[in-house]
Amino acid sequence: MTQTFQNADAFSWFAILPVQAELFLAVGGLLLLMAGAFWGKAKAGAVMSWSLVAIAISLLAVVSDIYSGRSNSPVDTLGGMLIADDFSNWMKLMILGGVGVSLLLSVQWLKENNLFTFEYPLLVLFSGVGMLFMVSANNLLALYVSLELSSLCLYVLASINRDNLFSSEAGLKYFILGALSSGLLLFGISLVYGYTGSISYAEIASVLGGASVRPLGALVGMVFILAGIAFKISAVPFHMWTPDVYQGAPTPVTALFAIVPKVAAFALLIRLLTGPFMPLSAEANQILVFVSVASMVLGGFAGLVQNNVKRLLAYSSIANMGYALLGLLSGTPEGVAAVIIYLGIYMVTVAGVFAVLMTLRRNGQALEDVKDLAGLSVSSPMKAYAMAALLFSMSGIPPLAGFFGKLFVFQAAVSAGYFAVAVIGVLSSVVGAYYYLRLIKVMFFDEQVEALEPCSSRSRRIVALAALAFVVLFTILPNALLAHAQLAAGSLFP
């Protein structure tokens, strides 16, 4: 039974205890914003360091909430606008970890490109605040506000390199198409509210579940909301922004896009499908099947002809979102747990790939083309073998972590009776493995044209080694992680 923290007479600390991580991060960001305005660019390093401290404090707050047992039963707070449970807490751990890693990866790059200003970590911080509220949103208004908070910061980050034409283009494309997706989302919210009379998840589910005939307007509203979220996870047919933005945005921003926002948007999607739209699961599954199959197929085949590594990773992300959607077709805690595991593995693996990619420089320039990886096994064998292991994991080669991620979501789809969709997923995974193997072939069998600069970033090496250790040693602890994922997923189902 859901608990509710409310006090009509006076403000109480206990009313905000379930969302303390979001508040720590938001207050920290505001304090650092004022400090940065006074200090200026000269203290950008201090703002970056304190931003990482704020993320660490928020992580400790989430961990303490998990192990204190407060999240064992769902807790409504702030008038029912937000909810805290095991699912939100575990997703917050992933989001905060991803935000922290993206900041660590960005430090050296920002210095190398003379973009190290105090605004960058603060934009990442406030985007993280929006993502944290996304996974805790318990009504449609909180959903929309948190999504826009996160998105507005990401629009600015995509174009933060103002002197670069490609970065400005990426930010403009992302903003225009993002505004379109926000319009779709807002229109869907208005339809759902108009036909159910509520923006509360619980009340919407009650109205839709108790109706003898499903309101057509509410069904159309759900379609628009799912379309808006499909844009955020770059699923087909709302993927058109992804390759251009990945290629044009600064590399640490691309890493942020690949690591964190998709996890937050997926958490939002999971909460909608297991909450207010659960009575419409049959109709929602028709949409999920189309989007999943289209994403897997397009992401697999379109990536075959890409020569830019960041653009290739964009199509890889589209395909991976299609695989993750397979786990939602079952509508069971096991399926949701499979998605959580898959997203966690994907996030860690992509972080490792970007950590290695960002160490590759020649003549003061970052390398992004596939041909730039030629001969990496000779000049930098450790980087080559680390990248190879991470790419093998992304392609689903056992016994690496990526194999188990795909195995879990395929099992969830098969258990729900979606055999054809699972077969398409396996076949598209085989197609996608080609462009991962192509990168490995270039690294190990092509001759290097010119030597690379040595890596001077300790944080990148740490991230790459941590990601490599995770994908290699995952076989030791899959059941333990799956148990935690099942516990988080179980909190969504009464």
Q: What is the pLDDT of residues 305-336, one digit of tens each?
A: 888 889 999 999 999 999 999 999 988 889 99
Query: In terms of C-beta distances under 8 Å and separation of at least 24 residues, what long-range contacts does 111-114 make, across chains too?
Result: 112/361, 112/364, 112/366, 113/161, 113/250
How deeply is 13 buried, as exposed, middle or buried, from its count of CB atoms within 10 A (0-12, 13-18, 19+)?
Answer: exposed
Give SS3 for 192: helix
Q: Give me the residue label for tokens 């990886």.
A: 373
C-beta neighbour count of 341 within 10 angstroms:
26
Q: Give me the residue label for tokens 């179980």.
A: 490
Instruction: Answer whether 124's CB lies under 8 Å from 51's CB.
Output: yes
Q: Which pLDDT score, from 0 to 100, does residue 63 have?
A: 84
Q: Which pLDDT score, from 0 to 100, does residue 489 have?
A: 86
List, in sequence order, the alpha helices (H) in 140-199: 140-158, 165-196
Whole-angstrom distance, CA of residue 407 vs CA of residue 61:
33
Q: Which pLDDT score, from 0 to 100, does residue 290 have?
A: 94
What is the rounded radius of gyration, in angstroms, for the C-alpha atoms of the chain? 22
Q: Which pLDDT score, from 0 to 100, does residue 16 have?
A: 56
> For the chain, which ranges sit under pLDDT 70?
1-19, 68-74, 364, 453-456, 494
Paired strand residues for 366? 361
Q: Which pLDDT score, from 0 to 100, does residue 456 have?
A: 65
